[in-house]
């Protein structure tokens, strides 16, 4: 019998024990039908299509857990495109049928995940509370009178109630973090640009981020790694430059003095203080810091010219369909008309001045730990004062994307009556996404508050996030070992972890090796060759698995140092030069996956 919360460890164990993706889909269908919150989904994937997709996955990859997310059910916020399902952004008149998946959805599907449906949101991702939708207001899984948090409201509830293993949200002002706090979940908010936004209806295009709701930090990080990677079709996409944090003695900045604002919610304040003590017990050095410049930066997002970006995203639709907007959303977006180009530049100047001031605070600390939300409200309270009370939720979240930070939101426990949950968020400089994860995971584990609505379950040991010095060996794969390819199971079965998708340096060429089963490419470095780099993946395996892996590599392939597009060098597959004589070159295709896809289409 499956547990309430469908974490990756539990599902993978079920598959190893003989369950099939079709079995899991039937359970998900039954749970979805029994759900008591009618506002979670805008468009559920029809039952027959779910069954068809499960069967197709079993045909494509028959070996259990042979893909990183083999048979894993997930939900998608309805401002992110899923081919075959409409995108509404919670505005029926805006609805359209996307021709293809958003980049992140395509990558997750290639890794074996199955889309269960499109979830409800604050209309046009404008809000942090989850009540601004004509499809209803999803509720906290702990009390139907309370908001679920937004704008990614439905996504968080699907995970917390056990309908899916993870869900995608988006985060401009905190929408990938506040719903996590209100539903006892983890919220993974990547550094802006780490995960591409192609196929996402923008709120503020320059600072939007696709996020992950998951039961554990380990699950969320694994899913983010599948999604991330540069996409030239997104003008704000960036090539990752991972940044480290101290392995021990982490200096954690906490609120002090007048900047500690909880709007009268003493329960959340007490949980924040308890989180500080847990961090101290885990070896962190607690450092009070001045939040004022961060708060001033946060205020720019809604009380400055950045609100004009929200108008830029929907100006043509607003001009013809103003009556179709949620009244509060319309008020916020139309407020952008008060700003002109001069105000935009003045806002940019102010943000950069504040960035310098926050830099002085960053010199004191390695990481910030803030309340994810300083309070919560009932649906009735929120509807009575929607702009002010929504603003309370964003006090400690709105600055994070503007100041180019990574963040992981984790549960912080329940109030004194054991009724409602709260959360804290660990925030680091750009590209500390992986470096934040071990401490965030430790904070979650020491809390012992379960996952989602199951408050008694224990976080699986298999999802533990190892420290930076994890003893695992990185390896670059280029062909049949890529995600979704025939030999990927040689990495996944011994517990290999996908670290990132990236490209090689420009001076590599790729060839189809003749008479190889399954078909394999040959990667050769040619100094001076000026290409665009080739698609590769970086995985990590145990030293024992790496040794067995290397021992079984057939000639003319071997292991050597592969230079990546960020300049790093990692051991990976290379080919002896003599083997490519007369072989077909496919360098121009950009990678092995493009070649295999082309072959399939021709067949």
**Cα 68 to chain center, whole Å?**
15
Pairing mode of beta strands 73-77, 114-119: parallel
Mean pLDDT of 96-105: 98
| 558-573 pLDDT per residue, tens | 999 999 887 788 999 8
pLDDT for 603 beyond 60: no
* pLDDT score of 565: 84
Which CATH number is associated with domain 8-247+378-463?
3.90.1300.10
The mean pLDDT of 35-62, rounded to a whole number, is: 97
Q: How many CA atoms lie within 13 A of 321 on its CB side?
A: 13
Every domain range in the chain assigned CATH 3.90.1300.10: 8-247+378-463
Which residues contact residue 221 at a Cβ distance below 8 angstroms, ignoring those fewer than 6 apart?
A: 188, 433, 434, 437, 465
- 125 — pLDDT class (breaks 50, 70, 90): very high
Is residue 394's pLDDT more than 90?
A: yes
pLDDT score at 432? 97
pLDDT confidence bin for 212, thresholds 50/70/90: very high
pTM of the model: 0.82
Q: Where in the chain is the domain with CATH 3.10.490.10?
A: 473-602
Helix ranges (H only) for 5-164 are 8-16, 21-34, 47-60, 103-110, 153-160
Percent with pLDDT over 70 in the chain: 99
Residue 115 burial by Cβ neighbours in a 10 Å radius (0-12, 13-18, 19+): buried
Separation between Cα atoms, residue 238 and residue 231, nearest integer Å:
8
Asked if CATH classification 3.10.490.10 holds for the domain at 473-602, the reply, yes or no, is yes
Residue 38, pLDDT > 80, answer: yes
**3-class DSSP state for residue 1?**
coil
> Is the N-terminal amide bond of 518 cis, ω within 30° of 0?
yes
CA distances from 220 to 121, 366, 457, 528 (A): 20, 22, 18, 40
Segment 345-388, tens digit of pLDDT: 999 999 999 999 999 999 999 999 999 999 999 999 999 999 99
Lowest pLDDT segment from 72-76, 108-112, 535-539, 547-551: 547-551
Q: At what angle do helices 217-227 and 103-110 cross, to 10 degrees?
A: 110
User: Span 39-61, mean pLDDT?
Assistant: 97
Ramachandran class of 553: left when φ > 0, alpha when ψ lies in -120 to 50, beta otherwise: beta
In what side-by-side order are the strands of the sheet with 535-541? 497-503, 535-541, 473-477, 569-575, 557-563
| pLDDT for the residue 247 | 76
Assign residue 143 a region: left if phi > 0, alpha if psi is -120 to 50, beta otherwise? beta
**In this structure, are residues 453 and 4 in contact, taking their beta carbons and an 8 Å threshold?**
yes
- 597 has pLDDT over 90: no
**Structure confidence at residue 143 (pLDDT):** 97
* Helix boundaries (H) for 423-513: 433-447, 489-492
Q: Which of 69, 45, 71 is nearest to 57 (CA)?
A: 71
Beta-carbon neighbour count of residue 226 at 10 Å? 25
Catalytic positions: 77, 151, 175
pLDDT (mean) for 229-254: 91
Cα→Cα distances 491→36, 111, 282, 486, Å: 40, 13, 32, 11
Stretch 457-471: mean pLDDT? 84
| Least confident segment among 29-38, 318-327, 397-406, 464-473 | 464-473
């Amino acid at each position: 019998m499956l547990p309430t919360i469908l974490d990756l460890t539990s599902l993978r164990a079920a598959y190893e024990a003989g369950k099939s993706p079709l079995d899991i889909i039937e359970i998900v269908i039954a749970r979805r039908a029994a759900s008591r919150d009618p506002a979670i989904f805008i468009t559920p994937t029809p039952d027959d299509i779910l069954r068809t997709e499960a069967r197709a996955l079993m045909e494509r990859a028959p070996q259990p857990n042979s893909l990183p997310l083999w048979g894993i059910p997930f939900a998608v916020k309805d401002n992110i495109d899923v081919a075959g399902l409409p995108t509404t952004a919670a505005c029926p008149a805006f609805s359209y049928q996307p021709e293809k998946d958003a980049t992140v959805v395509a990558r997750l599907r290639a890794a074996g995940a199955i889309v269960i449906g499109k979830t409800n949101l604050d209309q046009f991702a404008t809000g942090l509370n989850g009540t601004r939708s004509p499809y209803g207001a999803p509720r906290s899984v702990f009390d139907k009178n309370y908001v679920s948090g937004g704008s990614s409201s439905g996504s968080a509830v699907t995970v917390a109630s056990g309908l899916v293993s993870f869900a995608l949200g988006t985060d401009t002002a905190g929408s990938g973090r506040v719903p996590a706090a209100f539903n006892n979940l983890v919220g993974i908010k990547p550094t802006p640009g780490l995960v591409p936004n192609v196929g996402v209806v923008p709120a503020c295009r320059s600072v939007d981020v696709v996020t992950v709701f998951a039961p554990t930090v380990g699950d969320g990080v694994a899913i983010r790694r599948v999604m991330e990677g540069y996409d030239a079709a997104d003008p704000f996409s960036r090539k990752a430059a991972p940044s480290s944090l101290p392995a021990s003695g982490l200096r954690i900045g906490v609120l002090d003095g007048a900047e500690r604002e909880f709007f009268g919610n003493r329960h959340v304040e007490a949980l924040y203080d308890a989180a500080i003590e847990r961090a101290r017990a885990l070896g962190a050095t607690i450092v009070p810091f001045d939040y004022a410049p961060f708060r001033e930066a946060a205020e720019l997002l809604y009380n400055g010219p950045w609100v004009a970006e929200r108008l830029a995203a929907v100006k043509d639709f607003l001009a013809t369909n103003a009556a179709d907007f949620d009244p509060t959303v319309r008020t916020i977006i139309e407020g952008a008309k008060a700003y002109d180009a001069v105000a935009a530049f003045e806002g940019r100047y102010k943000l950069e001045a504040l960035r310098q001031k926050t830099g002085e605070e960053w010199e004191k600390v390695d990481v910030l730990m803030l309340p994810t939300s300083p309070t919560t409200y009932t649906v009735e309270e929120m509807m009575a004062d929607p702009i002010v009370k929504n603003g309370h939720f964003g006090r400690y979240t709105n600055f994070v994307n503007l100041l180019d930070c990574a963040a992981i939101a984790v549960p912080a426990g329940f109030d004194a009556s054991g009724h409602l949950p709260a959360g804290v968020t660990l925030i680091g400089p750009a590209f500390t996404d992986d470096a934040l994860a071990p401490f965030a995971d430790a904070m979650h584990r020491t809390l012992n508050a379960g996952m989602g609505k199951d408050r008694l379950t224990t976080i699986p040991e298999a999802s533990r996030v190892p420290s930076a010095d994890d003893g695992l060996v990185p390896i670059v794969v280029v062909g049949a070992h890529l995600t979704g390819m025939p030999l990927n199971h040689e990495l996944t079965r011994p517990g290999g972890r996908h670290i990132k998708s990236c490209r090689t340096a420009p001076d590599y060429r790729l060839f189809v090796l003749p008479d190889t089963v399954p078909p394999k490419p040959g990667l050769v470095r040619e100094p001076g060759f000026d290409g665009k780099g080739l698609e590769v993946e970086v995985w990590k395996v145990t030293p024992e698995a790496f040794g067995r892996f290397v021992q079984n590599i057939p000639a003319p392939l071997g292991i050597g140092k592969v230079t990546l597009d960020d300049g790093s060098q990692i051991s990976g597959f290379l080919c002896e030069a003599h083997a490519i004589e007369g072989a077909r070159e496919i360098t121009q295709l950009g990678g092995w996956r493009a070649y295999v896809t082309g072959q399939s289409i021709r067949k």
